[in-house]
Amino acid sequence: MQKLLFSVLPALCVAGLFASSTMARSLHDVKNDVSSPVVAADSSSMILFYFEPKTSMFFYDKNEQAILKAGEMINRHRAEIEAGKLFVMVNGYCSSFRTEYSNYQMAKLRSSQVKSYYITNYGLKEENYITRNHTESYNGDANVVAMFKLVPADSIETSEQEAADSREEASEEPVAEQPSVQPEPRPVEEQPAAPVAEKPVPEQPEPEVAVAPTEQPSASVVEPLQPLTPKPLWEDARWRIKTNIPFWALVVANVAAEYRFADHWSVDVPVYYSAWTTARTYRFRTFSVQPSVRYWLSPDWKGHFFGVHLTAGQFNIATNEKTRYQDADGMYGAGLDYGYALKFTENWGMEFNIGAGLIHTRYNAYYNIDNGERFDTRIKNYWGITRCGISIIYRIK
C-alpha cells in the first residue's frame, strides 16, 4: 500500500487535494475527493457513528441521536458548506478483521454509508466532503466512523500559495514548462505580464479540481449502499468443507465441515458412509462420524494444529472369503490428532492429519457366505491409529 500511496501522490498534489503533512496520517488514504487545501477539524463539532462489529449496519438505536445531530449541524451551516467555507470530514475506522485489506474495505464502506445518507437526505455533494479511511481503531473502538465539521477557510493550514507551490513541485512537466512561459512574447505583449503569471498559479487549477475530479464521484456515492462486502479471504473465513481422498479408494463416500469459532479454535465434523458390497470377499460398509475440536497455532487457519476427536459409528466388514464382521451395538472411541493445512488459493487448500486413541466395540463374526451364520461374539478394545486423512479443502465463507 505504501507503493500505491507514493504512485498517486503526484496526481493528488497537482489537484491540490491536501498537504503532505496530512497525507502521512493514514497509509490507506486512497480516496480523498476534495477540491480545496486541507483544513483543521473543529473537535467540538465531532459526531461519532457506531457500527456493529464486522458489519456496515448504520441504522440502529445507538446512532439515532448522532444522525439527527449531524443533520442539524448541516442545516445550520449549509450556506458555508455550499460556499466552500466549511467542509465535512468523514473518517472510517475498522480493525476487527485479521487482514489489512478487509479492514480497509469495511472502513471505506462505513464512511460511504455516512456520506451517502447525507447526500441523499440533506442534499450534500461529494465535493463537500474530505474522506479518510483507517485500518486501526478510533480511541480503542474498532467500529466507529467519526464525522467532523471543519473550521472556516480562513484557518486553512496550508496557504493557497503553498498549495500552488506543492502542486508545481509534484509534477515534473509544469516545472519544466513554467520557466519557458515567462520569456515568451505573448505575456510580454499583454502589458500586465506579472499579474498574468500570478493568476494561473492559484486560480486556474482550482476550477479544474472542482469540475473534473469531484463531479464524477458524486454519481457513484450511492453505490456503497448496495451490497458491498470485502473480498473474501482464506484467513477471514469461518466455514469450509473437505473430503478425505484415501477413503474414496476404499469406496467410502465422505465429507467434512469445519467451523472456526475463534481465532485459534475450530470444530471439524467428518461423516463417512458406504452401503456398497464391492465383492463377496470385500466389503467396507460403514456409517461413522469423528467430530474433533482443534487448536491452530496460527490464527490464519493454516499450518499446524492439534486436536481431540471422538469416534462413533457402525460397520459391516469383510476382507476375505471366510469371515464377515459386523458390530453388535456400534463402536465408540476417542483420541488425539495432529495435522497440517496448506493454502493453495483464497478458496482451495489441502489438509494432512493423523490421530491415535482407543476404539471400543462388541461385534459378531459370521461365515462369509449368503445368509452365513454367526459363530462368534467378541469385545475389542483397539489402541492405535484411529484417524488418518489427506483432504482437499474448499472455503465456503
**Residue-wise pLDDT tens digits, 148-202:** 655 455 554 544 444 444 445 444 444 444 444 444 444 444 444 444 444 444 4
Whether residue 243 has pLDDT greater than 90: yes
Q: Give the chain's end-to-end CA distance (angstroms, integer).
A: 25
Instruction: Give pLDDT, residue 353.
Output: 96
Kindly state whether residues 266 and 217 are assigned to the same domain. Answer: no
Which residues lie closer than 8 Å to 254 by C-beta, 6 or more apart? 243, 244, 247, 248, 270, 271, 272, 273
Say if residue 13 is in the same domain as residue 144: yes
Are 22 and 68 within one domain? yes
- pTM above 0.85? no
d(CA 294, CA 264): 8
Using DSSP bridges, classify how beta strands 348-367 and 144-150 pair: parallel, antiparallel or unpaired: unpaired
pLDDT tops 50 at residue 40: no
pLDDT at residue 360 in the model: 96
d(CA 230, CA 102): 5
Q: Are residues 73 and 111 in the same domain?
A: yes
Do 387 and 330 fall into the same domain?
A: yes
Among 77, 86, 91, smallest CA distance to 122 is for 77
Q: Which range has the top average pLDDT, 49-63, 186-200, 302-316?
A: 302-316
Is there a single domain that holds both residue 143 and residue 246? no
Residue 370 cell numbers, joined:
449368503
Does any domain span residue 67? yes
* Average pLDDT for 65-83: 87
User: Would you say residue 102 lies in a domain?
Assistant: yes
> Best-predicted range by mean pLDDT among 28-37, 103-112, 137-146, 340-349?
340-349
- Of 193, 225, 257, the position where a domain reaches its end is 225
Strand order of the β-sheet with 41-50 is 41-50, 144-150, 88-93, 129-134
Per-residue confidence (pLDDT) for residue 25, from 0 to 100: 38
**Is 273 found in the same domain as 138?**
no
Same domain for 213 and 250, yes or no, is no
The model's confidence at residue 44, banded by pLDDT at 50, 70 and 90, is low
Residues 287 and 360 in one domain: yes
pLDDT, one tens digit per residue, over 78-121 is: 888 888 888 888 888 888 887 788 888 888 888 888 888 888 88
Whether 388 is in a domain gets the answer yes
Cell numbers of 143, please?
Answer: 467500529
Structural domain that includes position 82: 2-159+205-225
